[in-house]
Structure 1
Amino acid sequence: MNFARRLLVATAAASALAASGLASAASPAPQPSVVIVHGAFADGSDWAKVIPLLQREGVQVTAVQNPLSSLADDVAAARRAIDAQPGKVVLVGHSWGGTVITEAGAADKVAALVYIAAFAPDVGQNTADQGKGFPTPSGLAHFKADAQGWLSLTPTGMRDHFAQDLPAATTAVMTATQGPIQAKAFEQPVSVAAWKSKPSWYLLASADRMIAPEAQAAMAQRAGAKVTRVGSSHVPQQSQPEAVAKLILDAVRQSR
């Protein structure tokens, strides 16, 4: 009887352990959240077409509202959003936002980086450095500065160079709602390059008139990023949101 009881107990324990193992194997790892960092001359609403596509797939999304006052201030805003997430984060940046995520992406919670027509500087480099040695984009001639050093885009710059593949009525609203950036921010270097230690994805906009496509290709290659090309203006998140969402979802699914 003692032997039989011992055998019964051992069998029950083994069954429980096996069931527990099966339950663990059947439970997928939690899906990372997405934190999105907008660029200059924009705000969080720049992502209004992409966010619903991510949410439809059950992804938790937070769009950061950058003050655009300095690199440090924008990095701090991104880090607050990262810290507020329950688990892993896929960190996305557009344009100037790429410089921000290059620094903020060093946070432990960040599992992957996604650059959307974005800057991706190396340690000690600033945003302005990234255009050196490449053709000068036509949009750079359409900045205007106020007395305090805040830069904005002219209506012509927004319509014909920033978002030339969007309707004029849309670019008129973008001009009115744009977020000016302090010019000095473009001269402030990053102290870390998160792409050195985090897997990266890059959406290259081949018709970009704000960041030369050649510069985008060079930055993506240096970062070892997985590159997708789209024939869009500087704002594929507005003109081709499905392509942008697809790339972000790829990063999310590979970062579980």
Structure 2
Amino acid sequence: MNLNPNRGIRTFAMLLILIMTIFVSELQAQVSPRVQNIVLVHGAFVDGSGWQQVYEILSKKGYKVSIAQPALTTFEGDVAAVKRVINLQDGPCILVGHSYGGAVITTAGNDSLVRGLVYIAAHAPDQGESEADNGKIFPAAYKSLIKGNDGWDYIDPKMFAADFSGDLPKSKADFMANSQTPTADVVFHAIIQNPAWKTKPVWYMVAKSDRIINPELERMYAKRANSKKIVEVEGASHSVYISHSKEVADLIISAADLSQKKGTK
């Protein structure tokens, strides 16, 4: 009987390649690819246009970026507005919230399409908490809030730049002051139920010169949520998502790259 040792080696090599192919395929099935969809959520007193620079940076890198426009009238309505945008996505998404938008994504982030949460100088209340009560524990530096008799809050335009946008050009801060969106005071008192950050991975950015949310409160939120990455931006105002758009975009990309398949911790 004539045995060909080369044939045996080739057969063994082919079997080895087949086994490795199956192993790699199974491994890839367990690890999600980079999330391509990003949903951005603005906070109180502003609208989604402030995300323009972040939008442009992410779009140029191939991400599909959507910007939600909560009306700032009721918390439930704002969550519903964000969920409508989430439901328009063609696959998993990263949900990003600034300021009060953090409270919104803390609830809306329970959607099964959301793979990760990114908080940009934002509130992240726990079960039974509200951002208004948390703000009393860590008082902020601002003195510009005007509470109207009709239940709507406003920031004094004369103090808007100092309190909200201290690191932006004066012309930009003045425009924001005079184009701001009054916000229903009731939204700040919404009690959070089932916070998404307890089951979804979190990334957090602290604005170190924030006068609207105490940076110590931001640090508490970031630590409590077991954030995968915490970025502190020196000299950043509450408008950090505008003044440091590149750093914000980089943090969002980190979330898109590292989010787990099922969005769990």
TM > 0.5 fold call: yes
Q: Over aligned residue pairs, what C-alpha RMSD do you find?
A: 2.6
Match in the other structure for 1:5: none
Match in the other structure for 2:174: 172
Deviations, residues 111-159 of structure 1 (Å, cap 9, x unaligned): 000000000000111111222332x3222x2112334211111123311
Aligned 1:155-194 pairs, distance under 5 A: 155-194=157-196
Q: Indicate which of 216, 237, 243 corresponds to 1:239.
A: 243
Match in the other structure for 1:89: 93
The one-letter amino acid of 2:163's match is H
Contiguous gaps of at least 5 residues in structure 2: 1-14, 261-265
Establish whether residue 45 from structure 1 lines up as the match of residue 49 from structure 2. Answer: yes
Q: Is the 8 A contact 2:130 2:190 kept in 1?
A: yes
Q: Is the 8 A contact 2:41 2:96 kept in 1?
A: yes
Deviations, residues 30-75 of structure 1 (Å, cap 9, x unaligned): 6331111100011000101111111111111111111101110110
Q: Indicate which of 224, 227, 232 corresponds to 1:229.
A: 232
Q: Is the 8 A contact 2:34 2:256 kept in 1?
A: no
* 1:188 CA drift (Å): 1.2
Quote the Cα distance in structure 1 between the aligned partners of 2:230 and 2:34: 26
Over the matched positions of the two proteins, sequence identity in percent amounts to 39
Contiguous gaps of at least 5 residues in structure 1: 1-13
Match in the other structure for 2:256: 252
Quote the Cα distance in structure 2 between the aligned partners of 1:23 and 1:55: 31
* 1:235 CA drift (Å): 1.1
* 1:21 CA drift (Å): 6.1
The one-letter amino acid of 2:129's match is Q
The one-letter amino acid of 1:236's match is V
Quote the Cα distance in structure 2 between the aligned partners of 1:65 and 1:170: 20
Q: Is the 8 A contact 2:34 2:257 kept in 1?
A: no
Q: Indicate which of 130, 133, 140 corresponds to 1:137.
A: 140
Q: Is the 8 A contact 2:33 2:257 kept in 1?
A: no
Q: Indicate which of 59, 63, 82 corresponds to 1:78.
A: 82
Number of corresponding residues: 244
Query: TM-score of the superposition, structure 2-length normalised?
Result: 0.85
Match in the other structure for 1:116: 120
Please list every run of at least 4 consecutive aligned residues from structure 1 whose deviation after the TM superposition is greater than 4 angstroms. Answer: 20-26
Paired residue secondary structure (2:177): helix
Q: Indicate which of 215, 218, 238 corresponds to 2:217.
A: 215
Quote the Cα distance in structure 1 between the aligned partners of 2:166 and 2:63: 30
Match in the other structure for 1:4: none
Query: TM-score of the superposition, structure 1-length normalised?
Result: 0.87
Quote the Cα distance in structure 2 between the aligned partners of 1:236 and 1:69: 24
